[in-house]
Structure 1
Amino acid sequence: MELDNIDRRILSTLQVTGRMSNAELSEKVNLSPSACHRRVSRLEAEGFITDYVALLNPRKIGRQTTVFVEITLSGQAEEVLDAFEREVAKIPDVLECHLMAGSADYLLKVVALDTEGFAQIHRRHLARLPGVVQMQSSFALRTVRQTTALPV
């Protein structure tokens, strides 16, 4: 399916404010409510819109420390990668896990209350991940820009 300008406006608007009524959305993108609803339904059915979520304030829930962890594994064999990915997916403090090209095999984005909280996550979970031979953690001092909105 090819996206036209109206589809792009709908997607951009929903990424910024996903909790608006169809009437509000149709007004913002200059489309009738019924046509807007049909387009949103089509965008959902085609997989362009995968979910609707609430974004939480990390400070309010005690997760204000962000740590990026570079992980090097013992090898690149499929069973080593699969075992690592299976186990890392079970750690709720890991928000993102990316298989990387470069010096590290994986890059994790981990949230914690503070450095002590991260030390507990490291001890209980990260240090027990299969196949890990090296881990390097970098603490974010301040978030300069953060968005979930993709350019459309």
Structure 2
Amino acid sequence: MPDDLSPMDRYDAAILRALSEDGRMSVTELARRIGLTKTPTQARVRRLEEAGVIAGYRAVLNPIRMGLAHVAYVEVRLSDTREAALQAFNRAVRALPEIEECHMMAAGFDYLMKVRTSDIADYRRVLGERISTLPHVAATSTFVAMEAVKEHGL
């Protein structure tokens, strides 16, 4: 943590918890919730933002209401894992909106992706036309999610 952010106390933790639930909350409401007045609450939020603890604010979209209920996890094995190949793969993945998350793994495969589409037929198209054609993809394995028990943001 940066030097300009002293160890977080219970007020900072309460601010982060409250804003993670409702980032549009007014400073007045936030201050009321955490038990401080508006001015010190506002100063704490600004300090947390400047230190990068609060990285930003955004709308949390409901993908199911957007017609994107199908979730698949895809293991990807690359044919080349030298740095240039990894960078080419990473750049190409960032350009595909269907890939909601992508993580380089320390496992028997190289990457794990979370792919969201409208249905299995749409996923099959994305797999065949987009994911399989990413740079250096040698093989993929798909795991279809049947139900989201806990999902970030929803």
TM-score bucket (shorter structure): over 0.9
Q: Once the 2 structures are TM-superposed, how far is the Cα of residue 16 of structure 1 from its aligned partner?
A: 1.2
Summarize the alignment of residues 1-152 of structure 1 with structure 2, pairs less than 5 Å apart. 1=5, 2-148=7-153
Q: What amino acid is the match of 2:14? A: R
Residues 93-130 of structure 1, C-alpha deviations (whole Å, 9 max, x = no match):
11111000011100001100000111121122101101
Structure 2: give runs of 5+ residues left out of the alignment: none
Q: Output the CA distance in 1 between the equivalents of 2:20 and 2:38.
A: 19
Q: What amino acid is the match of 1:37? A: Q
Structure 1: give runs of 5+ residues left out of the alignment: none
Residues 55-94 of structure 1, C-alpha deviations (whole Å, 9 max, x = no match):
1111211111111010011132101111110111100111
Secondary structure (helix, strand or coil) at the match of 2:139 reads strand
Q: What TM-score, normalized to structure 1?
A: 0.94
Q: Output the CA distance in 2 between the equivalents of 1:43 and 1:5.
A: 13
Q: What amino acid is the match of 1:53? A: R
The count of residues paired between Structure 1 and Structure 2 equals 149
Q: CA RMSD in A?
A: 1.3
Deviating beyond 4 angstroms after TM superposition, the runs of 4 or more aligned structure 1 residues are: none
Q: What TM-score, normalized to structure 2?
A: 0.93
